A and B are shown apart, each in its own frame.
Chain A
Amino acid sequence: MFGRSRRPTAGTRAHDCEESTPAVRLEGVGHEYGAGGDRSVTALRDVSLSVRTGEVVGLKGPSGSGKSTILHAVAGLLVPTEGTVALLGTDLTDRSDRTRTRLRRHHVGIVFQRFHLLPSLSARANVALPLVQTGVGRSNRRDRAEKLLEEVGLADRTTHLPGELSGGERQRVALARALAADPDVIVADEPTGELDTATGSDVLELLTDVGRDGGRAVLVASHDEATLSVADRVVPLRDGRVVTDGG
């Protein structure tokens, strides 16, 4: 399940660099929201960590510890004010918005705590959405979305709207959407935060399968011990600093 097709990545090929270059590497990353202003807030201070392909890494810490900021930096949604963020060896901090968006489109899948599915689109259309921008044809998008929904156990829910699905089913649709473009890195921000224990456990199992069996780097942010227990290693954060790196 969740096997991957190999294809060119951000300047190299994923399988060429699996052993040498980490899929994600943060070095000396610091970030200040509202930088330079009177009300600036420091979210990250000198954070360095790396995630290898096939590895599941947990980010642990209370609210405001910088977990989400790290995920956003890895996804290229924000550029940290200090340090470098390398995705498959490509430094995102010196790239344009357009390039970061393109890199995210091809190499990063994001799973949100609150799913963030588009309510007016069916499960299949939500999953196929990332492929629209990559230029995949309509029938291929449908096939790919149906295959992914089948892999996350929702083959019989393809035409359902998000409002017709349970929380666990929605999160599985979100996971399928994150996998649509066959990314090298998955970032998940509190993926079980809205789910009960049993459903959360199912979703985590899928997430770890995606990483280990699918040959992807997975970065999971949570303050829940049970969620983090599936990680190969956990990076504890407090006040924007890495307390200790378990790896």
Chain B
Amino acid sequence: MTLTVALTIALLLVVTGMALALADGGVTSEDDADVTVVPEGTGTISTVDGVEGPQLGATNERAETIGDADEIDHASPVLIERVRLASADGDGEPRTILVVGVVPDDDPRTVAGLSTDGLEPADPHYGDGTYDGPRQREIVLSTAAADRLGATEGESLAVAGLEVPEAAAASSAVTVTAVENGPDDDENEAPVALVHLSELQTASGAADGELADRVLVWGDEDAAVDAAGEAYPDAAVETDRATDPSALFDDGLAFATSLLALLVGLTICTSFVATTAGMTVDEDRRTLAVLESIGFPTHSRLVVVGLSTVVTTLCGALLGAGLGVASIELLNVVAASTVASGTVAQAHPLFVPYAVVVGVVSGLVAVPYPLAIAARTSVLQEVGR
């Protein structure tokens, strides 16, 4: 019974972990900004089928405005594009990586899990909206991206795919200025890269309208919220984007997924516990009969059955929590080496109490069945055998 419960709970945690990863937004949201401005309602649409979600407009100009406000250190739009890159000398297969465009400043910032330190400060190609300034042609690769492309520091890469306009592709060769280990080893498995924002906007067609997926603001949090709210009154200003389970409630699809997983998990878990506990009690009828014969009253025997059911379920839940977290790690490893570009499921410390609560609730819902079987045990039939 313990193993059955453990497997069910593990499955529940894997699905919940996937929902959490959906809500979190993945590796590209790994940054050290104090405030993030995102378009309202991005999560659901972009995570359903990969269709590009709503973006923010006039981001370069407004980020500058935000950055100039008091107590704000820096503000940068962030544009994320899937780009097929290959070695500029024609060696190696073109590979798809996530390229993140940012505006670096003099201080090293973390965006998409990578430090902006490898990029020259400022974004001269933007040229106050003309997009005709000099290109820096720099790219910072994550270790995974470098591995995937077979590139090292100092090598040139060129856009190879059809996912950006071809005209732009021809003039978009970049030089690897750094291969970075991000702050979190797990996230390093995602092949991501940093480039100057305006160069990516030009390459992807986002220059028209100065589009970006989000704007990051560093500085005093209250001041950043005020400045960001002023620049983008209709956008969502987030101050706490740590991967915590409350993110599930902010994202419709992720919430529905996790809720469905919870309902299915509870139902399956309860069914398993009821069935297996019932079978166990049926096998233990003789023990119950012996307890009665030596003077254990009915309520004591039922307490024994109830407690053993709930405790066994609890053990299964704890085992399932460990199994679930391990499965999430395994899933990420398998996904990263096959189909996904980053983390597909995320574990969280709260998963352990969550698993325990689900296990206990399942045990409590299921316990009347074994209790009924125990109560119907005939001592005379059992000890007479």
Given A68-B384, A98-B297, 10 other A-B residues pairs in contact with their CB atoms under 8 A:
A75-B293, A98-B298, A101-B298, A102-B297, A104-B293, A105-B294, A116-B286, A116-B289, A129-B291, A134-B295
Contact A78 B297 (CB under 8 A): no
- Mask for B292-306, Cβ within 8 A of A = 1, else 0? 111111101000000
List A contacts of B294 (CB < 8 A). Answer: 104-105, 110, 129-130, 133, 177
Q: Could you tell me the distance in whole angstroms from the C-beta of A171 to the nearest C-beta in chain B?
A: 14
Choose among B286, B287, B297, B379 the residue with the greatest number of A CB atoms under 10 Å from its CB: B297
Task: Name A72's contact: one of B286, B298, B380, B385 (CB within 8 Å).
Answer: B380
List B contacts of A102 (CB < 8 A). Answer: 295, 297
Contact A112 B292 (CB under 8 A): no
Choose among A101, A106, A118 the residue with the greatest number of B CB atoms under 10 Å from its CB: A101
Contact B383 A105 (CB under 8 A): no
Interface residues of A (CB under 8 A from B): 68, 72, 75, 77-78, 97-98, 101-102, 104-106, 110, 112, 114, 116-118, 129-130, 132-134, 177, 181
Confirm or deny: B164 has a beta carbon within 8 angstroms of a beta carbon on chain A: no
Task: Name B295's contact: one of A116, A117, A133 (CB within 8 Å).
Answer: A133
Contact B290 A101 (CB under 8 A): no
Contact A101 to B384, CB < 8 A, known contacts A77-B379, A116-B290, A118-B287: no
Contact A130 B298 (CB under 8 A): no
Contact A104 to B295, CB < 8 A, known contacts A68-B384, A118-B290: yes
Bound: A104/B384 CA distance, A: 18
Interface residues of B (CB under 8 A from A): 286-287, 289-298, 300, 379-380, 383-385
Q: Which residue of B lies closest to A177 (CB)?
A: B294
List B contacts of A132 (CB < 8 A). Answer: 296
List B contacts of A130 (CB < 8 A). Answer: 294-295
Task: Name B380's contact: one of A77, A105, A118, A129 (CB within 8 Å).
Answer: A77
Bound: A160/B295 CA distance, A: 24
Q: Which residue of B lies closest to A180 (CB)?
A: B294
